Amino acid sequence: MRKRVRPTEHSDGENVSSSFRMQKKTTVCQEKKGLASKFWFWVKSGAFALCAIFIMMPILEELPEIIRQRVYYHRIRAPFVFDLSHPAELELNHTINMYLEPEEGISLGIWHTVPDDKWKEAQGKDSAWYHRSLKDGSPVIIYLHGRTQTRAAKHRIGVVNVLSSIGCHVLSMDYRGFGDSTGKPTEEVLTKDAVWLHRWAKENSGGSRVLIWGHSLGSGVATNTAVRLMEQGVLVDAVILEGSFKNVQMYWPQNPFDRYSSKIKRLILRDEVANDVIFPNDENVKKMRSPLLFLHSEDDHLTTLRNAEQMYQAALSVQGDKRVRMVTFEGFLGYLHMGLYKDPRLPAIIKNFVVTTEEMS
């Protein structure tokens, strides 16, 4: 007969103790696995970070140039395949290409277009003839273009033809890093090169009047140049601002991508590129004492008419309406930011300004 043995108090205690030891052992194992898992997580994360840094180093080294490209768009060319040393291929058959060196190691690509009434005489002529022609007494206009592309862009050639048609010599310069000019663009060197070109034009034109035309970004270079020369005791004969902006911060954030990228520029590069790009037209026009003409389209989609009007009022309060003028073009004409050269009234407007400012000299 099988006897049933009742568990004693002692056996109950042993079972509880054994269960506790097993649970404790399991907990210790789990803690060890957790520590090991965390260890390998950080090892993997560290290895991934090192690899990422290794991969990103070349990109980080090029970051200033990448951001500079977002400021100036100087690597973009149009026409895409064109030899800038042959302007006649773009029907500028009264234009010669030249390379000038503002400093050692820097070469600037520049077109010299003679007045339209000299185009027949200009056929087949060499650089020496063009150089001598600068001294014929005709006004000389330095054309400072906007960001992106080169001096061969369609709208820029359009402006050059307008200026040539009213009897002016035109010097169209590609900034450093643009077109076939060497170097890298910054606000300081763009201004420095424009000052140098103005001095070169004065010295080589036999005392002719030298005006500056600045479009878009070029308006910032133009006003910087006028102020810099004034500080050196030189008064620019006249300045024309087409599609100008108050300062580069007002120019950048015109679309969502530029608004975002402008914050990144200032955040990442700070003094190196972003905060070093100002082009303070709004402050410069208050300092300038040169006759000033604003040209603006009502439908300009990049630089608002309101900004131009505010700058006009600021300049007007300093120099008066005899030396400061503004001409706006109706929005329904569809000129936007780069089409003012199409307006049939433009040649007469510019010629009148050039003539009247000569009387002020």
Residues with catalytic annotation? 216, 300, 337
Q: Is 93 exposed, middle or buried (0-12, 13-18, 19+ CB in 10 A)?
A: middle
Are 338 and 243 spatial neighbours (Cβ–Cβ below 8 Å)?
A: yes
Q: Is 272 exposed, middle or buried (0-12, 13-18, 19+ CB in 10 A)?
A: middle
Q: What is the 3-class SS of 46-89, one letter each residue?
A: HHHHHHHHHHHHHHHHCHHHHHHHHHHCCCCCCCCCCCCCCHHH
Strand partners, 296: 328
Q: What is the residue whose two structure tokens read 């300038």?
A: 288
Amino acid identity of residue 205, one-letter, is S
Q: What is the residue whose two structure tokens read 């400012």?
A: 357
- CB-CB neighbours of 61 under 10 Å: 9
Rounded distance, CA 282 to CA 267, Å?
24
Closest listed residue to residue 343, CA positions, set 309, 295, 308, 305: 295
Measured in degrees and rounded to the nearest 5, phi and psi for residue 136 equal -80, 0
- CB-CB neighbours of 327 under 10 Å: 15
| Strand-pair category, 210-215 with 169-173 | unpaired
Amino acid identity of residue 323, one-letter, is R
Are 326 and 293 spatial neighbours (Cβ–Cβ below 8 Å)?
A: yes
Q: Which two tokens stand for residue 347?
A: 């040649």
